[in-house]
Structure formats: structure tokens, C-alpha cells
């Protein structure tokens, strides 16, 4: 972990989405220096599934040694942004650092993304970042520190990162384009940078997105907080950078990254938008039109004969079913398989005892997965992680993403038998 230096004592840090997760972690790191934190977030009353409000965050910030100003801010509302900025300046005398952390996510393809979700992502991620920056810039220009930090990815134009969730990618890249433009526009006055994690980060939102059990594949929010702290210590001339958390911490001399892992030693889930993925050798695509071929580093057993492999896989799956598995899953999966032994198959984990078979399920599927028969067999035998298959475009998913991720846990239980 990166030690505090006291560098941010008395500085005012305006953070959107600071009531929980990454935003709150950055706030607490700065608070340990004695910083003033403006908590600009929507949650004034406790959410049934997500812990934390602007007021509980304020208490934690004060306990850590900082001062706190909780402000109800929906970044889609320009008046709420302006009001929070005015209150911050009135209370603390100015703004030194802005962290654009508030974000909305829906990992759905074009036809599966309702207009309401498209508007939410565009208005929170891109427009919210732009408007909050615009409101803070007149005060940041007066600061000796003057940093804007957007929690957004490097602008990787590999189509791989657009094809599965085009709207989300556009919305996140809008935040990154704010970095590109504003860094140049305010060069010498304000440092404008982006920060993105190398691996998945464990937050309450990640639990909702990935389901229980996902945390072992994640790092703690502390790694982002430490990386942000490194950036805030840099001069204004450090601008226009798209920073990966692990890389900047290595530059600071951090060698042991196990301290950031939820489960030290457990393989980590790479984050989106990065082609260089940990524990995976990515065969470089000859052109952006090609999808990178992902290969596990560990030695793989020779593949089983293809003839009847899908049928054999479903037979083993059927033998593994139980009322407990059905009770824990409560979902119907449909598989659209291309190649030898392909066609439509189903896995019913709603009916008593569960069922598998060829053809469509009797009730509507909650999740439809499309892939090749080879990748299907590899996935169920543990040689291809579903997350990796999805991220590399080998697996297409329609329907409930949380239920799709539940299936990954079930596969892990079956790997020893396949």
C-alpha cells in the first residue's frame, strides 16, 4: 500500500459518485492527508442493494481526518452540479481537484439496450463528466494543484471492445475524449488525466453485475485510491495521460500487488478495454478487424474427440444436476451452437431436479448463449473461462447477464467431472 505524505492537506477534492466504491476510496485516501472532500452523489437515503449514502461517507471521511461536504448531485442535472460547486467554494474557498467517477453501465448489445439505458449512460458518463468539469474549471484554474481525473479507459479502437456493448463503450470513451480535449485546451493551467484499472475492482456494483463469488477475481478499491493519490502528487505538466493503476504504482516502487487482491494468489479478471490481459497470451490481431485469439498460459490437455462431444458434455451436466443446484440458480439457459454437433440445446435449472436436452426449452430462456461447439466444450471443461469467451467475442449473450454469470460458478463445480 502507498503511504500518505500529507501533500493534500487543506486541498479541496470534488468527487462525483463518492458515496461508495471507488469514489469513496479515493475520498478516504485524500482525507487521511486532511483534505476537504465534496461528496457529490445521488444517494441521500440507503439503497436496498447498495450500501452507503453521502452522509455515511461524510462520517467516514471525518473519521479518517478530512472535512466533508455531502451534496445531493445527479450529474445529469446541471443545476445540481452548479449548486454543489457553489457550496464547495463557499465552504472551502475553492476547488483544487475534480474526480469524475460517477458512471452508469449496461453490458448489452445494440438491440438489447433500451433507449432509456442508452440515455442514462450517455448523460451520466459523457455529459455528466463534461458538465462537472465545465463547472469546476474556473476554480481549478486558480489552484496551485489543479487536477481533473476521469475514471475512464485508454481510447482503444479495437472493434472487440465495441461489438458486445457499443453504447457503454461510446459513453465511457466520451469521458476519455474529455481528457484528450481538455488536457490540450487547459495545458499549463490544469492537469487532465484518465485512470483505469488493469483488473476488475471489487465494489457493490461489481457484485450486482457479476454475482456472488466474483470478488475472488477482483482487487480492492484501494489500488485505484493509491494510483489516484500518485497522480494528484504530480505537477500540472503531467497531463493528457491514460494511466493504468498497476503501472503508475510500479513507477512509485510498489512491488507486492497481492496486498490489493481480495484473494491473494487467485487469478484476476482483466478489466475491459485493455488488449494486454494478465495471465493470458494475446495473439496480436493482424488487423483491427480480427478478434485476438486468447490462449491460456497453462498447459492444456489434448482436446477430446469432437464427435459427440457436446452430447457427452450435456450428459455429464445432467448427471451433476440436483435440487440444490436448481434452487441456487433458478434460470433456463439456451445454447445456439455452430459447427459439428451444433444446433439448439437447453439447460433448465428452474424445473424440479433440472433438465437438459436438444432443442428449445419448454419455457422461455432467461439467457441465450451463442458460440461454436468447440468453445462450448472448452468452456464447460474449464479450458475457456466464460468471461474471457465473452470479452473476446467467442461467446455472445442475450438476456439476463447476472444469470449468465451464475452459470460460471456451476461450471467450476463440474470441471472435475468433464
Q: Which residues participate in catalysis according to the annotation?
A: 168
Say how far apart CA 87 and CA 156 lie, in whole Å: 37
Phi, psi angle pair for 321, to nearest 5°: -70, 150
Say how far apart CA 117 and CA 314 lie, in whole Å: 36
The DSSP secondary structure of 169-221, one letter per residue, reads HHHHHHHHHHHHHHHHHTTTT-EEEEEE-SB-B--HHHHHHH-TTGGGG-B-T
Phi, psi angle pair for 145, to nearest 5°: -90, -60
416's grid cell: 472435475
Strand 343-349 relative to strand 367-372, pairing: unpaired
Which residue's C-alpha cell is 476488475?
200
SS3 state of residue 345: strand
Say how far apart CA 397 and CA 394 lie, in whole Å: 10
SS3 state of residue 386: helix
Q: How many CA atoms lie within 13 A of 416 on its CB side?
A: 3
Say how far apart CA 341 and CA 310 lie, in whole Å: 6
Distances (CA, A) of 100 to 18, 39, 178: 10, 11, 11
> Burial letters for 55-88: b for 16+ Cβ neighbours within 10 Å, e otherwise?
ebbbebbeebebbbbbbbbbbbeeebbebbbeeb
CB atoms within 10 A of CB 281: 12
214 touches 187 (CB < 8 A): no
217 touches 266 (CB < 8 A): yes
Which residue's C-alpha cell is 457503454?
168
Say how far apart CA 409 and CA 303 lie, in whole Å: 22
Amino acid at each position: 500500500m502507498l503511504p500518505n505524505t500529507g501533500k493534500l492537506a487543506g486541498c479541496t477534492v470534488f468527487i462525483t459518485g463518492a458515496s461508495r466504491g471507488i469514489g469513496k476510496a479515493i475520498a478516504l485516501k485524500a482525507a487521511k492527508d486532511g483534505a476537504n472532500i465534496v461528496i457529490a452523489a445521488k444517494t441521500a437515503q440507503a439503497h436496498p442493494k447498495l450500501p452507503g449514502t453521502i452522509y455515511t461517507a461524510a462520517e467516514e471521511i471525518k473519521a479518517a481526518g478530512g472535512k466533508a461536504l455531502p451534496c445531493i448531485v445527479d450529474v445529469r442535472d446541471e443545476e445540481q452540479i452548479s449548486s454543489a460547486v457553489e457550496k464547495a467554494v463557499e465552504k472551502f474557498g475553492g476547488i483544487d481537484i475534480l474526480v469524475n467517477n460517477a458512471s452508469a453501465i449496461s453490458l448489452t448489445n445494440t438491440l438489447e439496450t433500451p433507449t432509456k439505458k442508452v440515455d442514462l449512460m450517455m448523460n451520466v458518463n459523457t455529459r455528466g463528466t463534461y458538465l462537472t468539469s465545465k463547472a469546476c474549471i474556473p476554480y481549478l484554474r486558480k489552484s496551485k494543484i489543479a487536477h481533473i481525473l476521469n475514471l475512464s479507459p485508454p481510447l482503444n479502437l479495437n472493434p472487440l471492445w465495441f461489438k458486445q456493448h457499443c453504447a457503454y463503450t461510446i459513453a465511457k470513451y466520451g469521458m476519455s475524449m474529455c481528457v484528450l480535449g481538455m488536457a490540450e485546451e487547459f495545458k499549463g493551467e490544469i492537469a487532465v488525466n484518465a485512470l483505469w484499472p488493469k483488473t476488475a475492482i471489487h465494489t457493490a456494483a461489481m457484485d450486482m453485475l457479476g454475482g456472488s463469488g466474483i470478488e475472488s477475481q477482483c482487487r480492492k478499491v484501494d489500488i485505484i485510491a493509491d494510483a489516484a493519490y500518485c497522480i494528484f502528487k504530480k505537477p500540472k505538466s503531467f497531463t493528457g495521460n491514460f494511466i493504468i493503476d498497476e503501472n503508475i504504482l510500479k513507477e512509485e516502487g510498489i512491488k507486492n500487488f497481492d496486498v490489493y487482491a481480495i484473494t491473494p494468489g487467485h487469478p484476476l479478471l482483466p478489466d475491459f478495454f485493455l488488449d494486454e490481459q494478465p495471465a493470458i497470451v494475446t495473439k496480436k490481431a493482424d488487423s483491427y478487424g480480427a478478434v485476438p485469439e486468447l490462449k491460456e498460459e497453462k498447459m492444456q490437455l489434448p482436446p477430446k474427440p469432437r464427435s459427440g462431444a457436446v452430447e457427452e458434455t450435456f450428459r455429464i451436466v445432467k448427471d451433476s444436476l440436483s435440487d440444490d443446484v436448481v434452487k441456487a440458480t433458478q434460470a433456463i439457459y439456451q445454447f445456439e451452437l455452430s459447427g459439428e454437433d451444433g444446433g439448439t440445446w437447453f439447460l433448465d435449472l428452474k424445473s424440479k431436479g433440472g433438465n437438459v436436452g436438444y432443442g428449445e426449452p419448454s419455457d422461455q430462456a432467461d439467457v441465450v448463449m451463442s458460440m461454436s461447439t468447440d468453445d462450448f466444450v472448452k468452456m464447460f471443461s474449464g479450458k475457456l473461462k466464460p468471461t474471457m469467451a465473452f470479452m473476446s467475442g467467442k461467446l455472445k449473450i442475450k438476456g439476463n447477464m447476472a444469470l449468465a454469470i451464475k452459470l460460471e460458478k456451476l461450471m467450476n463445480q463440474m470441471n472435475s467431472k468433464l
